[in-house]
Amino acid sequence: MNKSIQWGITSGAHDASIAVIRGEDILFAAHAERSSRKKNDAYLNQTVFEQAMEYGTPRQVFWYENTAKKRLRQLWAGQYKTALWKSSPIEQMAAFDSKQNIFWAQNFGAGEAVWPAQRIKCMSHHHSHAAAGYYTSGFTDATVVVVDSIGEWETLTVWAAKGNSMHRVFSQRYPHSVGLWYSAMTQRIGLKPNEDEYILMGWAALGDPDKYYRKIMTDFVELDADKPNIRFRHNLHRGCLWWAPELNTIQDYADIAAATQRVYETLFEHILKHAVKLNRSDNVVLMGGCALNCVANPIAHRYYDRVWIMPNPGDAGSSVGCVAAYNQQHLNWTGPYLGYNIEGEYPINSVLKELDTTRMVGVANGRAEYGPRALGNRTLFADPRGADVQDLVNTVKKRQSFRPFAPVILEEHAQDYFDGCVGPYMQYTSVCKHPEKFPAITHIDGTSRVQTVNNEQHPQLYSLLRRWYESTGCPMLLNTSLNIKGEPMVDTAADAERWTRKYGVKVFTKDE
C-alpha cells in the first residue's frame, strides 16, 4: 500500500478545499474559506497550504476534475470567457499538458517549494464524488448515486461498487441537470444560485406544493419510463428568470419553493427506483450537492437498508474523493473533524455554566468540521426549550425568521423526541414529537434536522450533553454554526476571540 503523502485539491469554481491523505488515513481536510475568511472562497490560500504542509511534503497531487474536458464543455456551452480565462490559481501559473491530461505547477507560491515540477493528476468530477462517498462508507458493496449541477459533462451518475472496485453503470450528460434546474429555481425566487439552495428547501415548508407542481413538471421535466434519465426542456445553466413572470408575490415564491422541492423529491425517487435495477445491493451511497437535500434524503431508506452520505457530499468533499478515486481503496473514516485544530480540553464546564446564565454559548475547540455543518467543534449552542430561544439566537445569527435551528441530541434519546430518520451529520429531517416544547428547533412543517451523538463519535460532546441532561432533564441542545450569514465559520482561536468581541457571545476555545 502506498504510504506516501498525497494531496487532493478542489479549486477554481466555488468552495475550494485541500485534503492530505497517507495510505488509508485522512490526515487533514479543510475548506479554504475558513482560513481566507471569504465565504465559499473558490481559491486556496497560503495559510491552508501551510496547514496541509505540516503533515509533510506531498509525493502526489490530485485535482478533482478533468480541466481539459471541462473547458471543452464550457466552449460547447458558449462560456468562452470562462473557458479561455485560466480560472484556478494553479492553472493560472501552470503549463498545461493536454496530451497527457496532466499539468504541473510552476512558480506557484508555496507550490514552487513544495513540488517543483510535480505533476498533478486530474480525476473525473463524478468519479471523485463517487469515490469520496464509497471509500468512506465502510460498505463492502454499494450502489453509488451522484446528483449535482455540472462538472465536466456528467450531471447524474450511478455506480456499482464492490470490494475495492467501482464502475459507472449510468451517466447523464449536460445540459440535462437536476442540480442546475434546482439552482435556476432558487434564482427564480430571488435567492442566490449555487449558494442559497438550502434556503429554498427551508422556504418550501411555507408554501403549497400542489399549486405549481404540475406546471413545473410540464414546463421543465421529461422523465424516461425505463431509465434514470431526467431530461429538461430548457438549458437551465443560465437560469429561468423568464419563467412564469406573473408569479411575483412572496406567497407565489413560497408556493414555487414548495413545488420545486416536491418535484425534486419526485426526480430523486425516479433516480433511486432505477438505480435499484441497475445494481444489486442493499446499500446506497448518495453524493453530489443534491445529497445535502435533507428533506428528500429519507426517501433513500425506502429503497435501501443502509444509506451513507459522506458529510461533505458537494464539490469540496472531492479533495478527499479525487485521491480515493486514484487509489481505489477504502479510507479509515473517523469522522468529519479533519480541519484546523484548536488545542485544549473541550469546554464542558464553561459551556454548562454559560448556558445557565445566558442560555447561549459558542465553542471553537478541536479540529474544524470538513463539510458545511457545524457538528460540535465550531458551534453556537443554546438551550432549546421555550418560545423565545429562536429570537435570542437570531439576535446574533440574523437568519430569516422562518428557518429553525437544528438540535443535537444524545443518540439514546433520539427516538423519544423524533420520529423518522436521524443520524450523526444532520443529513435528514424527521418529525419532532414535542414541537410545542421546542419551537426553536422545529420547522413550520413540524420537522427537525437532527444530529445524534454517541460516545464513540464525539466523547466530549457526548459528555457535555449527558451533563446537560442530568441537570435539566433535556437531552438536547440547539446547535447552529459559529458564523453569521455571509461569513465562514470561525476557524482559529483568534477568530473566536473576534467573534466574542463583535457579537457579545462568549466563545470558549478550552475549558476555563
- Per DSSP, the three-state class of 337 is strand
Nearer to Fe ion, 133 or 407 (CB): 133
Q: Which stretch binds Fe ion (CB under 5 A): 3-11, 313-321, 393-401, 436-444?
A: 313-321
Alpha carbon distance 482, 490 (integer Å): 6
Q: Which stretch binds Fe ion (CB under 5 A): 310-318, 332-340, 387-395, 415-423?
A: 310-318
Nearer to Fe ion, 315 or 495 (CB): 315
Query: How far lies 235's CA from each of 92, 194, 232, 238, 287, in Å?
Result: 29, 16, 7, 7, 23
Judge contact between 227 and 138, C-beta under 8 A. no
Q: Which stretch binds Fe ion (CB under 5 A): 262-270, 309-317, 322-330, 448-456?
A: 309-317
Alpha carbon distance 166, 145 (integer Å): 12
Residue of 494, 476, 479, 473 lying closest to 393 (CA atoms): 479
Residue of 176, 158, 449, 173 lying closest to 295 (CA atoms): 449
Q: What is the DSSP letter of 440?
A: G
Nearer to Fe ion, 19 or 360 (CB): 19
Q: Which stretch binds Fe ion (CB under 5 A): 116-124, 308-316, 400-408, 461-469?
A: 308-316
Alpha carbon distance 177, 181 (integer Å): 6
Nearer to Fe ion, 33 or 315 (CB): 315
Closest distance between Fe ion and the C-beta of residue 197, in Å?
Answer: 13
Q: Where do runs of H (alpha helix) occur along 245-317?
A: 250-278, 300-303
Residue of 373, 375, 379, 376 lying closest to 312 (CA atoms): 373
Q: CB count, 10 Å around CB of 100? A: 8
Q: Which three cell numbers stand for residue 188?
A: 427564480
Closest distance between Fe ion and the C-beta of residue 265, in Å?
Answer: 20
Q: Counting every residue, how long is the chain?
A: 512
Q: Which residue has the cell 429503497?
A: 303
Nearer to Fe ion, 204 or 290 (CB): 290
Residue of 192, 176, 175, 173 lying closest to 184 (CA atoms): 192
354 binds Fe ion (CB under 5 A): no
Q: Which stretch binds Fe ion (CB under 5 A): 211-219, 314-322, 350-358, 431-439?
A: 314-322
Closest distance between Fe ion and the C-beta of residue 273, in Å?
Answer: 23
Nearer to Fe ion, 123 or 380 (CB): 123
Closest distance between Fe ion and the C-beta of residue 318, in Å?
Answer: 7
Closest distance between Fe ion and the C-beta of residue 315, in Å?
Answer: 4
Interaction mask 120-159, Fe ion, x per CB under 5 A: ----------------------------x-----------
- Per DSSP, the three-state class of 478 is strand
Closest distance between Fe ion and the C-beta of residue 90, in Å?
Answer: 18
Closest distance between Fe ion and the C-beta of residue 254, in Å?
Answer: 28
Nearer to Fe ion, 174 or 508 (CB): 174
Nearer to Fe ion, 148 or 495 (CB): 148
Q: Which residue is nearest to Fe ion (CB)?
A: 148
Closest distance between Fe ion and the C-beta of residue 314, in Å?
Answer: 6
Closest distance between Fe ion and the C-beta of residue 129, in Å?
Answer: 6
Alpha carbon distance 361, 466 (integer Å): 17
Q: CB count, 10 Å around CB of 192? A: 12
315 binds Fe ion (CB under 5 A): yes
Interacting residues toward Fe ion by CB under 5 A: 148, 315
